[in-house]
Amino acid sequence: MGGLRFGALLGALFGALVVLTWYVGRTDIVPLDLSVGLVLISALFVAAGFVGARPSGTLAGGIWVGLVAGGVSGVTVPGDDLMFHNFPFYQLKSFVFTMAISAAVEMLGASLPGFSRYRHRVGRTFGAFAGAWRENLD
């Protein structure tokens, strides 16, 4: 159970959930703080990467689902301008940083299923870092 079609379907589902969360956060349907909406959207992108990487067992599967989810949820940018008369990106730098952060959050979710394979390496790395830090304090 995997493949490009299934990943695209999962990505469209997560993208639709992001659009729904954005719409509810922008309107007064449910009193939702802007920061809560952003946290929910970030969690949806992490979940999209995780759920996409799970069936395929690869990082690329998670990135594919996140890419489709990002494409579907991209309608929120012109939607802000058309529906609420608030264009969010007047500067190219803020647009690039927002897209980079979204991609990083999604790739974090895509890397979670494979984390157990590298748990020992990560543990040794953190242990060495903590040991060097303690040595530096003395």
pLDDT for 109 equals 85
pLDDT for 2 equals 60
The more confidently predicted of residues 70 and 33 is: 70
For 136, the token pair is 């530096």
pLDDT for 39 equals 87
Sequence length of the chain is 138
Residue closest to 45 by CA, chosen among 24, 77, 15: 15
Domain ranges of the chain: 4-137
pLDDT in tens, 80-130: 888 888 877 778 888 888 888 888 888 888 888 777 776 777 778 888 888
Distance, CA of 32 to CA of 51 (rounded, Å): 26
The more confidently predicted of residues 133 and 71 is: 71
Angle at 37 between CA 58 and CA 92, to 5 degrees: 75
pLDDT for 13 equals 95
Residue 138 has pLDDT above 70, yes or no: no
pLDDT for 15 equals 93
pLDDT in tens, 11-63: 999 999 999 998 888 887 877 777 888 888 889 999 998 998 888 778 888 88
